[in-house]
């Protein structure tokens, strides 16, 4: 069998978070290290990011944010279920806790998501090529249904389904992070019927959970890519069983049936220069990951010539969601 040709969408998340994040993402794009970006419209540097994307013709989508910083919808009621007493979103885990406790009103989730799409259009002059969720909120129960309707209503065709082959065997993840990622995986699998119902599509495979921050290296990216294009494993009830990795989970056509060996993969990345204290964020300052050297580590890994050689050797072509 000939080796598959892979179309790889390398998405730089959190565009607009701060000026130093924008600078790093643009540097990666200009060096051919990323091919796509996802914009936080409530980021402190969102307007700058939108202008940069126009100037450099960077393919851009919306990183829908319901968990960090300030909402953008000015018609949310006072004391909205989406925010705490200080007016900020509940946070990565706080949002999930509020959802479990039945405290979130889905009508307010819909209002905020629609407002973010509208602001995206105002900033960029176009609809998003794709839309995903900051901290994977878009696949959470209840939220996924509202999210899918908003995409369908705005004719946004692509999203992210973070089910990563090889996750179950990733020994370097901490127990806490592994548990979080496994829950993201299950939420993503549960989202597939909802997304299919609304005609939403996504690449054949996804990688990026096992290669975040200090876990990223050319070697770990090579392993993740090998797992992504490998033969799908059947779903079973065993603890370490992998979910099926690509064509049976995707809303893209199975190209193998047409004699076309091309596979599509999305790689989620977070490159950038570390945020300065009290500079950037989404309204309440930058978080620890944003200020860490792990962002710079990702930038350096993604621009490593060795990674370019790997892409060439494996017949991997970078592209954007708009090219799928």
Q: How far apart are CA 256 and CA 267, in angstroms?
A: 21
Q: How far apart are CA 178 and CA 180, in angstroms?
A: 5
> How many Cβ atoms sit within 10 Å of the Cβ of residue 279?
15
Query: Cβ(49)–Cβ(15) under 8 Å?
Result: yes
Is 145 an annotated catalytic residue?
Answer: no
Q: Of 13, 14, 132, 187, which residue is the catalytic one?
A: 13
Q: How far apart are CA 32 and CA 35, in angstroms?
A: 7
Q: Which of 78, 86, 153, 84 is nearest to 113 (CA)?
A: 153
Residue 113 Ramachandran class (φ > 0 left, ψ -120 to 50 alpha, else beta): alpha
Strand locations in 128-192, DSSP E? 131-133
Structure tokens at 201: 């599509």
Question: Hey, which residues are catalytic here?
Answer: 13
């Amino acid at each position: 069998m000939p080796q598959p040709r892979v179309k790889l969408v390398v998405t730089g998340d959190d565009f607009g978070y701060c000026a130093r994040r924008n600078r790093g993402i643009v540097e990666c794009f200009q060096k051919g290290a990323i091919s796509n970006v996802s914009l936080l419209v409530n980021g402190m540097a969102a307007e700058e990011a939108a202008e940069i994307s126009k100037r450099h013709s960077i393919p851009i989508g919306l990183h829908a944010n319901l968990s960090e910083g300030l909402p953008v919808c000015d018609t949310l009621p006072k004391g909205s279920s989406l925010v705490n007493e200080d007016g900020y979103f509940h946070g990565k885990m706080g949002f999930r806790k509020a959802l479990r406790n039945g405290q979130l009103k889905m009508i307010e989730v819909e209002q905020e998501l629609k407002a973010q799409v509208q602001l995206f259009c105002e900033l960029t002059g176009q609809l998003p090529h794709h839309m995903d969720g900051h901290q994977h909120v878009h696949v959470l129960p209840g939220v996924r249904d509202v999210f899918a309707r908003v995409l369908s209503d705005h004719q946004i065709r692509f999203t992210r389904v973070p089910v990563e082959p090889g996750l179950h065997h990733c020994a370097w993840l901490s127990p806490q992070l592994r548990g979080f990622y496994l829950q993201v995986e299950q939420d993503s699998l549960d989202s597939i019927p909802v997304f299919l119902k609304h005609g939403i599509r996504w690449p054949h495979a996804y990688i990026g959970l096992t290669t975040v921050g200090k876990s990223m290296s050319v070697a770990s990216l090579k392993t993740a890519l090998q797992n992504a294009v490998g033969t799908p494993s059947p779903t079973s009830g065993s603890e370490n069983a992998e979910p099926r990795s690509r064509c049976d989970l995707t809303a893209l056509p199975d190209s193998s049936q047409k004699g076309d060996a091309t596979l599509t993969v999305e790689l989620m990345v977070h490159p950038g220069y570390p945020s300065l204290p009290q500079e950037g964020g989404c309204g309440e300052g930058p978080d620890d990951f944003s200020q860490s050297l792990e962002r710079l580590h990702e930038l350096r890994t993604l621009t490593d010539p060795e990674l370019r050689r790997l892409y060439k050797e494996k017949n991997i072509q970078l592209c954007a969601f708009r090219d799928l």
